[in-house]
Structures are given as structure tokens and as C-alpha cells.
Amino acid sequence: MKAWAALLVALVAAGYAWQSHRAAVRRLQAQLLQAAPDAVIRRSDLVKAAVTEATPLYARYCAACHGDHMQGNTALGAPDLTDSHWLYGSGSVYDIERTVLYGIRSGNPRARNVTDMPAFGLTGMLKPGEIRELVEYLLMLDHRPYDGQAALAGRALYLSKGNCFDCHGTDALGNTDYGAPDLTADVWNSGGDPGTLYQSIYSGRHRVMPAWRGTLTLEQIRALSVYIYAVSHRLTLH
């Protein structure tokens, strides 16, 4: 009889502990959403709660494109989320969250959709030889082996006929308002070998990221955004 009583007490205590734990988790989740996006990272308890919640969410919804370890997939044009290079914004929680909420060219009216990479070859805007010269210029910008004469011709095309500077800037440092990448960083979502660079210019790129609002709750999206921020900024979680 005593054994049963002890077991009952233990079960009640375990149930109470579980309910207390769940209540604490719910409080942290509520605080995670109530705080301003970039204020969350100043509270280690909220960051830990976000990472715990978001890890399985990332595995289910994001890893298929961005990889199990957030290092991207050039075949899909899915960027590496572990570095400091961002197509849109500066990598703040707010910037990440906006992209997760509304997507890129997703059809959502608030999606990031200012411009994309034109198909310069398919449309006849540039000839194959001119595209090859532009590729040499890109190799020069990235401090890789290049053909000097072709690179100079490519630079002239970049600043004139190609009109590349309009999005990527005359300094080729890109524009995060447009989602135009920095061409000097040697970081390429779709691959940076000469053949792939040629194909990107010739055929263009029109990558799409879905809008996750409606599939995930606002709190889950906040947790994912904090998780991506924590990984990309190498936050130490103790």
C-alpha cells in the first residue's frame, strides 16, 4: 500500500513539474513575440527558447533548401545562412523575419520583389562573347585568375551596355534593397565557377522563397528568425 502511495505522490509531482515547465515555456514564447525583434537577442533566455523551438521547425520546413546545417544549396540557389552575406537587409532579426514572413517573389504582396537577374543572353541584350568578358571581370573582382584584356572589356560592359551597375552598384558591392549581391565577396548562391557565372548572366535567375506566414504562426516565425540570427552571428548559448 505504501509503495502505491509513494508512486502516486511521485506521479503527481512529475505531473506538476511538467505543467510548470510547460507554463514557463509558454511564458517565454509569449515574451519572444512581444519583444521587438532585435531586442530578443539581448536576452539569453529568449534566444535559448527560440533555438529550442526553432531547431525542429527548421529541419521540417527549411532544411530541404538551405541544408541540414544552413550552408545552402547552389543547385537551388538557396543561400548559406551561416555567414554574414545577406541579399536583403543587414542580417538583423527584423530583416530575417520579414523575409521568412513574406518570402521572395512568393506572390505575397509584401514579398521582396523589387527586381531579379535578367536573362541577358536569352533576350539578346548581350552576345556570348560579351558575357564571357563580363565573367572575366567578375573573376577579377573576386581576385581569382582572369584574362586581363577580357576583364577590362567586361568592366566597360558592366558600366555601360550591360547596365549591371544599376543594381550591383558602380563599385559592384551590391544593394540589399534590391537583393543584388555583392560581386566582390566571392559568395555565390548559385555557384561561382566560370561556367555557372556565364549561365547566370545568359539565362538570368528568378529564385523564389515561399512566404511562411499562414503556414507557421507568428511566434514560430520569430523563433526561426532568432535561430538563424544566432547561427549566423555565432551567438554562444550558455
Domains and CATH numbers, the chain: 26-114+209-232 (1.10.760.10), 128-203 (1.10.760.10)
Residue 6 confidence (pLDDT) above 80 = no
pLDDT for residue 92 is more than 60: yes
Cα 116 from Cα 112, distance rounded (Å): 10
Residue 29 has pLDDT above 60, yes or no: yes
Tell me the CA distances in angstroms from 191 to 5, 137, 199, 235, one per residue in order. Answer: 66, 16, 10, 28
Query: Which amino acid type is present at position 140?
Result: M
Query: In angstroms, rounded to a whole number, what is the distance separating the alpha carbons of residues 76 and 61?
Result: 15
SS3 47: helix
Mean of pLDDT values over 165-183: 96
Q: 176: helix, coil or strand?
A: coil
* Alpha carbons within 13 A on the beta-carbon side of 37: 20
Cα angle 89-228-214, degrees, rounded to a multiple of 5: 85
Q: Model-level pTM greater than 0.85?
A: yes
Per-chain mean pLDDT for the chain: 91
The DSSP 8-state label assigned to residue 161 in this structure reads T
pLDDT in tens, 64-90: 999 999 999 999 999 999 999 999 999
What is the pLDDT at residue 133?
A: 98
Cell 525583434 locates to: 37
Whole-number pLDDT of residue 2 = 62
